[in-house]
Structure 1
Amino acid sequence: MRVPLLLGATTAVIVLSACGAPQARQDGASTAGRTFEAALAAGDFRAACGLLAPGSREQLEEDEKKPCEEALPSQELPRGGAVRSVEVYGRQALLGFRDETLFLSQFDDGWRVTAAGCVPEPGDEPYRCVLKGA
């Protein structure tokens, strides 16, 4: 009798743990994306650059031949508007706003924006992005 009870309790703990983990990742990705958008809206390009993934920041600086804080304003990224959806797949996330989609990755120190200013594209390419990593 104890084995089924123990198995049932263990299963419940595993299921509840699994349900909590995706929500925590969704919340983390959503917070990082909203913070990135707020920094852009406030003109705080230093903070926005701090939320970019290393590869995305390096690509921007290489393309523009300037530090991120100087290069980011010239990208004319759309303001996302209200959050419409958050999709997390492991350590990758899509944050859908009213007017754009952000792509994020989870690093050891938190979520970072890998691509911004993304809009759906018909055909083979699913999104066209203003800012993206290498």
Structure 2
Amino acid sequence: MKGSVLDFDEGNRSGIISGEDGNRYTLDISEWKGNQLPKAGAKVDFAVTGDKAEGVYPDSAASNTSTSSKKIAAAVLAFFLGAFGAHKFYLGYTKEGVIMLLVFLFGFILLGIPSFIIGIIAFIEFIIYIVKPDDEFEETYVQGHRPWF
């Protein structure tokens, strides 16, 4: 059966799954077959015995591969064209992209110091994008609205 994790308590190492049939099932960590601990909202595939979920696997068909590619593309843009705000435009933060672009371009009037600072900001964002896990990147920069580091 397919469903999604409603809640998972790492302390008790148990949680609740909502099945596609509308019922709720208890999840024990001993039945979890994924590499990482389950998180609320994760899509799963599982078998049912009474009110317990057994053999619970993360639903690979529901995994979002575009998130990873969006993360990688944003990181590459931040590294190579970050001073121009290209990664901001790519992630949909137009206002912030324009700010970075204008500060970089007009920064040369002030001996290049603002341009250098914008370059450092872009490099810091590149590092943050690379280090951040895919699901956290998705929540923070794609679904959420956090334009700056």
TM-score range (shorter-chain normalised) is: 0.3 to 0.5
Which of the two has greater strand per residue?
Answer: 1
Scaled by the length of structure 2, the TM-score of the pair is 0.36
Looking at CA atoms only, which structure, 1 or 2, has the larger radius of gyration? 2
Scaled by the length of structure 1, the TM-score of the pair is 0.39
